[in-house]
């Protein structure tokens, strides 16, 4: 007899999760979050709790290797092909093909640029408004200018996706 499946999905009624999403483990998805086809959410060791208003694009991988709950805050954007193994607060942008190791934590308003690899040798929490960019994964602190325009743009993006994806 096969072992009992431990998959448990709690998906808010106002979330959009496409059929072709690969999900395993104990996963909670909040209101208004949109998960594109071909995305992977894998709670390997501990549960994953995704807040409201997040966008997880195709090919993105969200993976929890730790026993504790991996909390993803509200309004985060996971672009095509990124891989995230860490918890994060709100309004972060993980760009195309960026990868973040589980030893890192993101506070709010961080941006990890396209193709950047973020691996901390010991536990590290990125400060708010940290921007990681370039082939050497250089860092700087963003002033926060344009934050409201970015928020409005992301809301319009989410509205468009809610109409087009189902």
Tens digits of per-residue pLDDT, 82-95? Answer: 999 999 999 999 99
Per-residue confidence (pLDDT) for residue 162, from 0 to 100: 83
Whether the per-residue pLDDT at 62 is higher than 90: the answer is yes
pLDDT band at 2 (very low <50, low <70, confident <90, very high): very low
Mean predicted confidence (pLDDT) in 89-115: 96
Cβ proximity of 95 and 82 under 8 Å: yes
Per-residue confidence (pLDDT) for residue 166, from 0 to 100: 63
pTM of the model: 0.91
Whether the per-residue pLDDT at 3 is higher than 60: the answer is no
Per-residue confidence (pLDDT) for residue 71, from 0 to 100: 97
Between strands 130-133 and 138-141, the pairing is: antiparallel
Cα–Cα distance measured from residue 37 to residue 19, given in angstroms and rounded to the nearest whole number: 7
Mean predicted confidence (pLDDT) in 48-68: 96
Cα–Cα distance measured from residue 149 to residue 166, given in angstroms and rounded to the nearest whole number: 27
What is the Cβ-side half-sphere exposure of residue 131, based on CA atoms within 13 angstroms?
7
Domains along the chain with CATH numbers: 8-164 (2.160.10.10)
Per-residue confidence (pLDDT) for residue 121, from 0 to 100: 84
Cβ proximity of 80 and 58 under 8 Å: yes
Tens digits of per-residue pLDDT, 118-155? Answer: 998 899 999 999 999 998 999 999 998 888 888 888 88
Per-residue confidence (pLDDT) for residue 144, from 0 to 100: 83
């Amino acid at each position: 007899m096969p072992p009992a499946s431990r998959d448990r999905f709690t998906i808010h009624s106002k979330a959009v999760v496409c059929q072709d999403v690969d999900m395993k483990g104990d996963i909670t998805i909040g209101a208004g979050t949109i998960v594109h086809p071909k995305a992977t959410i894998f709670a390997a060791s501990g549960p994953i709790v995704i807040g409201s208003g997040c966008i997880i694009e195709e090919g993105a991988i969200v993976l929890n290797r730790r026993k504790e709950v991996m909390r993803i805050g509200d309004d985060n954007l996971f672009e095509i092909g990124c891989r995230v193994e860490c918890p994060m607060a709100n309004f972060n942008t993980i760009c195309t093909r960026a990868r973040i190791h589980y030893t890192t934590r993101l506070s709010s308003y961080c941006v990890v640029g396209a193709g950047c690899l973020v691996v901390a040798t010991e536990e590290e929490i990125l400060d708010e408004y940290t921007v990681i960019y370039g082939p050497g994964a250089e860092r700087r602190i963003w002033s926060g200018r344009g934050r409201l325009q970015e928020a409005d743009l992301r809301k319009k993006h989410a509205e468009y996706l809610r109409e087009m994806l189902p």
